[in-house]
Amino acid sequence: MKLCIAMVGLPAMGKSTIALKLKEFLVSEGLNTEIFNNGDVRRQTVPESNSPEFYNPKNKEASKIRRKIADINIEKAKNYDGDVVIIDATNVGRPRRKIIEKSFEHVLFIECVNKDEDLIDTSILQKIKHTEFRNDPDAFINFKKRIGYYKKIYNPLKDEKNYIVLDSLNNLILKEKGEVLHYENIRDILVSNWLKNLYLVRHEETFFNQQDRIGGDSKLTKEGINKSKDISKYFEKKEIPFIFTSTKKRTIEMANILASKNTQIIKLPEFDEINSGICEEMSYQEIKTKYPEIYYERKKDKYNFIYPEGESYDTLRLRVAKGLKKAMYIVGDYRDIMIIGHRAVNRVILSHFLYRKKSEVPYIYMPQDKYYHIISTHKKKLLELKEFKQD
Ligand code: F6P
């Protein structure tokens, strides 16, 4: 008995990432699974189809071609001799979905929604790196236009027999109806956070570190630069496609040293170090002398203490969680990623994947000469503190 999973949603909603995640899991469960992507068929048959007008529903000629592409893809999926087919396409209109329902006995629709405009824009910027947009200087605007055209024919899932509506940024199921083969597995995969390999690195030594000063935007010292160069040799063979940093010079400087020519460096303000408010750029000794009440109050409850005009670990946690979601959405198929962060930020990231009591989080060991290797998939959870030395 064959199951057809049909993705539904506007472009840049994370459909392909979910499709890949589902395929990998179902295959690991011994189910022969294949993804059938309308975009692949389109690029093969109509290579010049990246103009937004190709998606204008009023463009009768193009609509016909797009329908044909969808039919070819459905036909290919029908002919697949396996257990599960995943149709990765927008499928935003009810008529197309009716055809899918007629073509397979068991169908589950998965609609991906995400309302975070900022993130959608970041995701579009990733998409237009694809070679098909190579010669289009207005690729970003055009891609948004394409989305606009899809919105005109969008019918959310409602009348279909089996479906799941997923908030694809937060891995939350918003609505579900019916039940199909392998439903429990599929549902579980949709809501779980997957991270294949995260290398969590703290930036190397800065001038402020030397002076025991906190916060600020200090650069790496000569020693910090040299150590970063050594670390870059260690990661040389790992081919890391994405390095996320904060917007601070020290993490960006180190990322530039570690990046290979295929690495994308993405700066996220969500990964900026804890804001120590009126204590920014001071040393712990200076804080103790000038603001003893701050110094001692923080010691009493480090997790909840909010620096005047700044943050606490607790508020930082929310900001960092948003950054992590963004990072995972951007990397899509959850490949190897690195985050070069700060002491407090990295503590919070680590506690996101490994449960720690809140009161313990501000004391997690976060050295500059080692890194944490984190794996968090459905089948494997790993957290290892490692040295920058070949095994
Ligand atoms: O000293 C480096 C630093 O990253 C500071 O910028 C930051 O305020 C501090 O560590 C966070 O560590 P703690 O919460 O232990 O003071």
Cα–Cα distance, 7 to 90 (Å, whole number): 7
Pocket flag, ligand 1, residue 342 (CB < 6 Å):
yes
pLDDT at 203: 98
pLDDT tens, 350-359? 999 888 899 9
Q: Residue 171 — left, alpha, or beta (φ > 0 → left; ψ -120 to 50 → alpha)?
A: left
Burial, 354: exposed, middle or buried (Cβ in 10 Å; 0-12, 13-18, 19+)? middle
Nearest residue (by CA) to ligand 1, atom 11, is: 344
- Mean of pLDDT values over 26-44: 94
Pocket flag, ligand 1, residue 11 (CB < 6 Å):
no
Burial, 391: exposed, middle or buried (Cβ in 10 Å; 0-12, 13-18, 19+)? exposed
Residue 363 has pLDDT above 90, yes or no: yes
Assigned fold of 3-190 = Rossmann fold (3.40.50)
pLDDT at 107: 98
Confidence of residue 330 (pLDDT cuts 50, 70, 90): confident
Proportion of the chain above pLDDT 70, given as a percent: 99
Pocket flag, ligand 1, residue 214 (CB < 6 Å):
yes
pLDDT tens, 59-91? 999 999 999 999 999 999 999 999 999 999 999
Cβ atoms of residues 158 and 339 within 8 Å: no
pLDDT at 118: 85
Give the list of residues 6+ apart from residue 366 with CB closer than 8 angstroms, or none.
202, 343, 346, 347, 350
Q: Which amino acid is at 61?
A: E
Atom of ligand 1 nearest to the CA of 362: 14
Pocket flag, ligand 1, residue 361 (CB < 6 Å):
no
pLDDT at 177: 96
Nearest residue (by CA) to ligand 1, atom 4, is: 343
Confidence of residue 334 (pLDDT cuts 50, 70, 90): low
pLDDT tens, 136-173? 899 999 999 999 999 999 999 999 999 999 999 888 99
Half-sphere exposure of 145 (CA within 13 A, CB side): 13
- Say how many Å lie between the CA of residue 284 and the centre of ligand 1: 9
Number of other CB atoms surrounding residue 380 within 10 Å? 8
pLDDT at 92: 97
Proportion of the chain above pLDDT 90, given as a percent: 80
Find how far residue 218's CA is from the centre of its chain.
28
Q: List the domain boundaries for the chain.
A: 3-190, 195-387
pLDDT tens, 236-260? 988 899 999 999 999 999 999 999 9
CATH no. of 195-387? 3.40.50.1240
Half-sphere exposure of 243 (CA within 13 A, CB side): 27
Atom of ligand 1 nearest to the CA of 284: 16
Pocket flag, ligand 1, residue 341 (CB < 6 Å):
no
Residue 155 per-residue DSSP state = -
pLDDT at 34: 98
* Fold agreement (3-190, 195-387): yes
Pocket flag, ligand 1, residue 273 (CB < 6 Å):
yes
Tell how strand 242-245 and strand 195-202 pair up: unpaired
Residue 261 per-residue DSSP state = T
Three-class SS of residue 74? helix
- Say how many Å lie between the CA of residue 113 and the centre of ligand 1: 37
pLDDT at 73: 96
- Say how many Å lie between the CA of residue 282 and the centre of ligand 1: 11
Residue 361 has pLDDT above 70, yes or no: yes
Q: Which tokens sit at 145?
A: 């236009």
pLDDT tens, 203-233? 999 999 999 999 999 999 999 999 999 999 9
Q: What angle do CA 65, 133, 19 make, to 5 degrees?
A: 70
Residue 181 per-residue DSSP state = T
Q: Which amino acid is at 279?
A: C
Confidence of residue 311 (pLDDT cuts 50, 70, 90): very high
Taking only Cα atoms into account, the Rg of the chain, rounded to an integer number of angstroms, comes to: 24
- Mean of pLDDT values over 297-315: 98
